[in-house]
Amino acid sequence: MSDTMKTTCPSCHAVFRVKPDQLDAHAGKVRCGKCAYVFNAYETLVTPIETVSLMALPEDDFKEELEEEALHIEVHDVRPMTISEQMTATFPIPTDDQIEREAEAINREIAASTHPELIEEVDDTPKTGLHITPELHEKLNNLQLQLTTQEKRARWRGVVWGSGIAVTCLILAGQSVYFLRNPLAAYYPETKPVLASLCRVLHCKIDLLANADLIKLESSELQSVPERPGGVTLSASLRNLAPYRQAYPSLELTLTDSANLALARRQFTPADYLPPKIKPETGMPSQDELPIKLTLELVGLEAVGYKLLVFYP
């Protein structure tokens, strides 16, 4: 190794002369005097470029020519190098490909200053931009117009679909309210005024719910009237087990003989058994008990038993 070597900074590509004893003292670590980047000088040593003569020379003359050419290669942008203190931190190590590319670039710069005829000139003039002809400009405008039209159509389709879905949902909701108006009014009495207003517009009415399974016949009794031949009195008690008002049910009385066969049957509507102070359209309150008493006239019937049935027609 000669007394003086050349190395290049991987950061700013400046070339410096270094001495082996300086590198050995700091394990090759140096600081760039141009950009202050710290690197390993052993890894970026510059190899002098070899030039090729166009004429064949004798072997001895060829060696002298190479030595002479090498001595005339100058290094430009050389700035004083400062050796950094002993470094303890780690620094990025360039790859072999990166070192080769940087060394090749440095060698080309050196050769360009001494032997420009050997370096191929590179055209760095900026390329002209794309020239848009009137025909191309018209096509671009038409394409933009088509895209805008398609976008507007897609937007209107979305609006139409959204409006259609909203209208459909409103229709379904209205139909649900229409067909479920009776349960809604029964379970949610506070909605009954609104439902009644809608029914006036739609020419419908709100009916009371009627579930015979939730009407309990708690007691019943059929007794003869001593002072009236053939006269009997029917006494019964009804209770509404539903958590809402129900329509008053109808009653069916069946008289049977000794063989439990039907002799006569009669049905009674709420207007037949309710007292005058109770209107049938008001409905039977929840958990309410209603006593019933009816006087009947049996003519030519020798009834032994009876059956009383609660039902909704």
Report angle CA 180, 183, 188 to the nearest 5 degrees: 115
Q: Which amino acid is at 132?
A: I
Contacts of 310 (CB under 8 A, 6+ apart): 212, 215, 217, 238, 249, 250, 251
CA distance 186 to 221: 32
Please give the Cα distance from 261 to 258 (Å, whole number).
Answer: 7
Domains of the chain, each with CATH number or no CATH: 5-118 (no CATH), 212-311 (2.70.50.60)
Per DSSP, the residues of 147-163 read HHHHHHHHHHHHHHHHH
Predicted confidence (pLDDT) per residue in 20-38, tens digit: 887 787 888 888 888 888 8
- b/e per residue 115-129 (b: at least 16 CB within 10 A): eeeeeeeeeeeeeee
The list of the chain residues with pLDDT below 50 reads 1, 49-57, 62, 66, 68-91, 122-123
Q: 284: which residues sit within 8 A by CB, 6+ positions away?
A: 215, 238, 240, 245, 246, 247, 248, 290
In DSSP terms, 8 is beta-bridged to 15
| Residue 279 pLDDT | 92
Q: Is residue 62 a contact partner of residue 70, using CB atoms and an 8 Å limit? A: no
Cβ neighbours of 277 (radius 10 Å):
5
Q: For residue 73, what pLDDT is reported?
A: 40
Cα angle: 199, vertex 244, 290; to 5 degrees: 115
Length of the chain as a residue count = 313
Question: In this predicted structure, what is the pLDDT of residue 268?
Answer: 95
Looking at residue 288, what is its pLDDT? 93
